[in-house]
Amino acid sequence: MDEILASVHDGVALVTFNRPQARNAFTLRMYDRLHALCGELAAGGGVRAIVFRGAGGRAFAAGTEIAEFETLRSAADSERYERGMEALLAAIEALPVPTIAAVAGACTGGGFLLACACDLRIAAANARFGLPMARTLGNCLSVRNLARAVDAFGEPAVRDMLLTARLYDARSAQALGFVRDVVDDAEQAAERARQLAAEIASYAPLTVRAAKEGLRRRRAGGRDAEDADLLDTCYLSDDFREGVDAFVERREPRWTGR
């Protein structure tokens, strides 16, 4: 079976990590495929939101397949691996449409970073989040990937999970603002994520894209990041005129993305 599954329905793409027998641990080939898929989804004009999930209900993604680390024998190997992870996470962050992680079970290591790179997260009650490498593999994160975790989860909690190998449950992650909603199980998490994606897909697409890109630029360049293109795209669009007209006429706007 394909280890990364993807489908699109009514503007919502569903991407499934499909190695349930290995708790959806990623092979290097899977990372490469996901990176390529991000490019395909970014180029596809019909996608307005993306949901990521893990197959089987026992894990979103339990990091990287351990056998893959056996090939890391030199400084060049380890740096190539971390730079590859950085590039993949940057590609997810740069997707022009909102991304939602539907998390059930283990969401650890590289899987946790994938969830951090998404815009929103829905968790099943059995979700567990963490970076337990001090207890398991003895590796570490690049500073860029560490920053991603801190931006999404908060520095005190990331410091705690790195130094103590603690796994945070769904409610704890929700209390920190990392998780939007907590539901009973994996299927409910996926369905809630699909509903949320469909809701977002019904909104003004240029506004949603500008909001996401503006936040990305703010993280990278601070409050003085360039924004003229984002302003022009929205304020000079047909959708902006439609939004104003619809508000005045007291009707629902009809968004076209133009």
Tell me the per-residue pLDDT of 3-27, one tens digit each, with 9 for 90 and over: 999 999 989 999 999 999 999 999 9
Q: Check residue 222 and give its pLDDT.
A: 84
Tell me: pLDDT of 29 over 80: yes
Does residue 72 register a pLDDT over 90? no
The reply to whether 239 and 188 lie within a common domain is no
Classify each residue of 81-103 as buried b or exposed e, where b means 16 or more C-beta atoms within 10 Å of its C-beta: bbeebbebbbbbbebbbbbbbbb
Range of the domain at 215: 205-249
Mean pLDDT for the stretch of residues 193-212: 95
Within 10 A of 9 (CB to CB), how many other CB atoms are there?
9
**55 and 122 assigned to the same domain:** yes
Q: Are residue 118 and residue 190 in the same domain, yes or no?
A: yes
Answer with the residue of higher pLDDT: 80 or 164: 164
Q: Which of 32, 37, 4, 6 has its CA nearest to residue 20?
A: 4
| Structural domain includes residue 258 | no
Give residue 46's pLDDT.
Answer: 85
Tell me, yes or no, whether 257 lies in a domain: no
Report the pLDDT averaged over residues 165-179: 97
Q: What is the pLDDT of residues 212-236, one digit of tens each?
A: 999 999 988 888 889 999 999 999 9
Residue 1 has pLDDT above 80, yes or no: no
Q: What CATH number does residue 99 fall under?
A: 3.90.226.10
Does one domain contain both 189 and 143? Answer: yes
Residue 69's pLDDT is 80
In a domain, 66, yes or no: yes
Do 187 and 234 share a structural domain? no
Which one has a higher pLDDT value, 77 or 34? 34
Q: Are residues 8 and 82 in the same domain?
A: yes
Give Dmax (Cα) for the chain.
Answer: 66
Residues 197 and 209 grouped into a single domain: no
- pLDDT value at 192 more than 70: yes
Looking at the structure of the chain, the number of domains it has is 2
209 & 197 share domain: no
pLDDT for position 219 = 87
Clarify whether residues 154 and 174 are in a common domain.
yes
* For range 105-113, the mean pLDDT: 96
pTM over 0.95: no
Is the same domain home to 130 and 216?
no
Same domain, 30 and 102: yes
Tell me: do 213 and 183 sit in the same domain: no
Tokens linked to 81? 């691996």
* For residues 136-142, average pLDDT: 89
Strands 4-9 and 12-17 come out as antiparallel
Residue 60, in any domain of the structure: yes
Is residue 166 domain-resident?
yes
